[in-house]
């Protein structure tokens, strides 16, 4: 089984955090283990933290942000030659972006200790779409669209959700099918949650230069996917795009 290791040297002691797989899904919980092995002398850590991080595009370039963090231990004393395994459950936040189109997500171990060796070590995660997101993407493919780009972008004014610094946009372009001659592209922002998947769609119609300059060629819509049936989701996507085409 593939593992994700966050290995930090603390003097002569080591702390290894092992996840069962590098593949995660937003909204899931992952059971991990923290392996502690003491060195020749007793050492103390003020705090040991897992941080889930990514980058998003802002006006001044790309910025690194912390999606969520979990404190694994506080005031931890590692005794000489200590061998200990601590179970921990890591919740992968719903706002964690899918790792496609160059988007990266990683876990970074942060240690509150002055003499730790390279406390900025990180391990890459492969974030898969939720089942409802995957059904939306499959529906777009069935409708003749191809995913051309996926990027995390700043959302400073809370256009899509309050309290979030960024959202992930998926850009689809029609290559065949009913919309090939009428649309330039469709951009989707997918926000999964406990109550379903909220989808924001911007439909860019094929129009003349004046319409493009005036932005009258772009129409937006919003809907929530609550079904787990791929055919029902396909019809919902098709209808939403058709209404704005």
pLDDT digits (tens, 9 = 90+) for 196-241: 999 999 999 876 544 444 455 688 999 999 999 999 999 999 999 9
The structure tokens listed for 83 are: 């061998």
Q: Show the domain range for 193.
A: 131-244
Mean local confidence (pLDDT), 93-98: 96
Predicted local distance difference test score (pLDDT) of residue 202: 94
pLDDT at 54 over 90: yes
User: Do 168 and 100 lie in a common domain?
Assistant: no
Strand partners, 214: none
Counting other chains too, the contacts that 65-73 makes at CB distance below 8 Å and 24 or more residues apart are 65/165, 65/166, 67/93, 67/95, 67/96, 67/105, 68/93, 69/110, 71/47, 72/17, 72/34, 72/48, 73/34, 73/45, 73/47, 73/48
Bin 208: left if φ > 0, else alpha if -120 < ψ < 50, else beta: beta
Predicted local distance difference test score (pLDDT) of residue 209: 47
Count other Cβ atoms within 10 Å, centred on residue 133. Answer: 22
The structure tokens listed for 95 are: 């706002």
The structure tokens listed for 148 are: 């051309």
The structure tokens listed for 38 are: 């003491």
pLDDT at 66 over 90: yes
Gap between the Cα atoms of 217 and 204, Å rounded: 6
Predicted local distance difference test score (pLDDT) of residue 216: 54
Q: Are 98 and 125 in contact (CB under 8 A)?
A: no
Closest CA to 95 of 147, 144, 27: 27
Predicted local distance difference test score (pLDDT) of residue 172: 97
pLDDT band at 7 (very low <50, low <70, confident <90, very high): very low
Gap between the Cα atoms of 118 and 120, Å rounded: 5
Number of domains present in the structure of the chain:
2
**Exposed/middle/buried for residue 60 (C-beta within 10 Å: 0-12, 13-18, 19+):** exposed
Task: Please state the φ and ψ torsions of residue 159, each to the nearest 5 degrees.
Answer: -65, -35
User: Do 136 and 68 lie in a common domain?
Assistant: no
Predicted local distance difference test score (pLDDT) of residue 114: 54
User: Do 215 and 231 lie in a common domain?
Assistant: yes
Mean local confidence (pLDDT), 61-86: 85
Summarised one tens digit per residue, pLDDT across range 109-164 is 776 765 554 444 577 899 999 999 999 999 999 999 999 999 999 998 888 877 78
User: Do 145 and 38 lie in a common domain?
Assistant: no
Gap between the Cα atoms of 32 and 137, Å rounded: 30
Predicted local distance difference test score (pLDDT) of residue 11: 53
Bin 144: left if φ > 0, else alpha if -120 < ψ < 50, else beta: left
Decide which of 66 and 20 is more confident. 66
Predicted local distance difference test score (pLDDT) of residue 13: 63
pLDDT band at 48 (very low <50, low <70, confident <90, very high): confident
User: Do 10 and 109 lie in a common domain?
Assistant: yes
User: Do 123 and 143 lie in a common domain?
Assistant: no
36-40, 46-50, 159-163, 224-228: range with highest mean pLDDT: 224-228
User: Do 138 and 111 lie in a common domain?
Assistant: no
Gap between the Cα atoms of 78 and 111, Å rounded: 13
User: Do 45 and 118 lie in a common domain?
Assistant: yes
Closest CA to 93 of 166, 23, 161, 28: 28
User: Do 114 and 14 lie in a common domain?
Assistant: yes
Mean local confidence (pLDDT), 64-75: 87
Q: Domain boundary at 127, 161, 183, which?
A: 127
pLDDT band at 187 (very low <50, low <70, confident <90, very high): very high
């Amino acid at each position: 089984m593939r593992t994700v290791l966050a290995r930090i040297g603390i003097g002569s002691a080591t702390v290894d955090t092992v996840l069962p797989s590098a593949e995660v899904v937003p909204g899931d919980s992952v059971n991990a283990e923290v392996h502690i092995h003491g060195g020749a002398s007793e050492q103390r850590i003020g705090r040991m933290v897992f941080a889930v991080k990514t980058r998003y595009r802002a006006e001044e370039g790309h910025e690194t942000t912390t999606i969520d963090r979990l404190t694994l231990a506080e005031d931890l004393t590692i005794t000489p030659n200590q061998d200990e395994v601590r179970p921990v459950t890591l919740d992968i936040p719903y706002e964690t972006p899918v790792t496609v189109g160059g988007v990266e997500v990683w876990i970074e171990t942060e240690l509150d200790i002055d003499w730790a060796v390279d406390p900025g070590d990180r391990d890459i995660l492969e974030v898969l779409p939720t089942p409802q997101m995957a059904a939306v993407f499959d529906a777009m493919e069935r409708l003749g669209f191809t995913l051309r780009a996926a990027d995390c972008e700043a959302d400073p004014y809370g256009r899509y959700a309050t309290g979030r610094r960024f959202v992930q946009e998926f850009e689809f372009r029609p290559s065949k099918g009913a919309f090939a001659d009428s649309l330039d592209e469709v951009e989707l922002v997918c926000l999964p949650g406990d109550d379903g998947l909220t989808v924001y769609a911007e439909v860019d119609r094929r129009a003349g230069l004046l319409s493009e300059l005036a932005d009258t060629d772009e129409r937006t819509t919003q809907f929530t996917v609550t079904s787990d049936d791929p055919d029902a989701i396909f019809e919902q996507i098709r209808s939403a795009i058709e209404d704005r085409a």
